[in-house]
Structure 1
Amino acid sequence: MTSKIFTRKLSAIALLLISTQLSGCFPAVVGGAAAGGAMAADRRSSGIYVEDENIELKTLKRLSQYMDKASHINVTSYNRIVLLTGEAPNEGQQSQAETLAREIANVRDIHNAITVGPASSIGDRSNDTYLTTKVKTRFLSENLFPANVVKVVTEASVVYLLGIVSEKEANDAVEIARTTEGVTKVVKVFEYTN
């Protein structure tokens, strides 16, 4: 994650936190229709939504302080469950990333999908972004479930699906992702509704 994106996320969270101090009606003050709309379509509470952003920022900061510069690690938090993806140069660094993430307040669980090996290339990362977009676009076009309830993360052509979903929604999401050209594997990191 570039420092520019990190700064934007940090600014957004700061704005959200300041907004809560200005008004007791948090969702109405969130900073516009886009942020409010994203939270409204999400099955996480607004507090957990913000906490997930906070967990990601804190974990990324901690990783940047203690990890080898040869590592390329992404952090995704959904309902306080952290998914670590990317590459570490050795097993010690792979394990260290998980240990550092576990030290962050309010993290419920960790899914460590970091592979041991050289950092991915810009081309590989661009392809992963493209695959994520393809899967999300298919979620919208198939219209089998609200597309915003499933978060898509792609690393090395492996698609990770996160969200709070029903069993049918999970099965539909997996089938769509699995049959998207270029996807080599699908990993579920779902929590199921009753």
Structure 2
Amino acid sequence: MTPSNSSPTRRLALLATLAAALLGSACAPLVVGGAMVGGALMATDRRTSGTQVEDEGIEFKVGARLREQLGDRVHISVNSYNRMVLLTGETRNDEDRARAEQIAAQVENVNRVLNEVGVGMLSSISSRSNDVFIAGKVKASLLDARDLMSNAFYTVVERGNVYLMGRVTEREAHRASEVARGVSGVQKVVRAFEIISEEELARITPKPAPTK
């Protein structure tokens, strides 16, 4: 469950951290996303530690190959969760959009590619900054939802569209989608979950340490 000591100060700190991390690369034509692997997040993530590291490698490899083959004529964000690659952003034509998907699918260990890249003008820095702000609000809202474990969700925002990833139950997927839709500025919510059973969730959830 989400910790009960959530506060406005904590939420503002989260927003500031996200903005600093993401805006630093806002001018880049291609963005490679990735979850932190280490410390508390490594421990609470529902992927194995090996899969988390593998996803980081997938993001790096896909991003590098897109950069090499498509260059700065595209703006594509790459996110991988449990070997499923989510591509978001923009290309100027259908050929580059299709090529990006092919490049991602050919990377070792990729099981599936979800191509959500739009065709049109590349997004502006102000649009990407707004996405950072929306992402922060969605993450803060998930943190405040005490019936959800916020670290189970991997959030990506592009052009106001929220993409939710993670290994979650149908109950959690429905609730998280409901929370994200309630955030101002969100255009639509796209579920990119791996649905697991309540039994599987109970099996993979760390048991509390016995009290003395």
Deviation sequence 1:117-158 (CA, Å, 0-9, x none): 111000000000100100000111122211000111000000
| Corresponding residue for residue 43 of structure 2 | 40
Unaligned stretches of 5+ in structure 2?
1-24, 198-212
Match for residue 65 of structure 1 among 54, 62, 68 = 68
Aligned length: 168
TM-score, normalising length: structure 1: 0.83
Whole-angstrom distance in 2 between the partners of 1:114 and 1:66: 16
* 1:68 and 1:93 in contact (8 A); partners too: no
TM-score, normalising length: structure 2: 0.76
Match for residue 138 of structure 2 among 124, 135, 139 = 135
The one-letter amino acid of 1:82's match is: V
Whole-angstrom distance in 2 between the partners of 1:140 and 1:36: 18
Whole-angstrom distance in 2 between the partners of 1:102 and 1:137: 32
Determine what percentage of the aligned residue pairs are the same residue.
Answer: 43
| Corresponding residue for residue 96 of structure 1 | 99
| Corresponding residue for residue 78 of structure 1 | 81
Two-structure CA RMSD over aligned residues (Å): 1.8
User: Which has a greater percent of helix?
Assistant: 1
CA deviation after TM superposition for structure 1 residue 69, in Å: 1.9
CA deviation after TM superposition for structure 1 residue 187, in Å: 0.1
CA deviation after TM superposition for structure 1 residue 68, in Å: 4.4
Match for residue 106 of structure 1 among 103, 106, 109 = 109
Report runs of 4+ in structure 1 exceeding 3 Å deviation: none
Q: Is the partner of 1:37 in helix, strand or coil?
A: helix
| Corresponding residue for residue 170 of structure 2 | 167
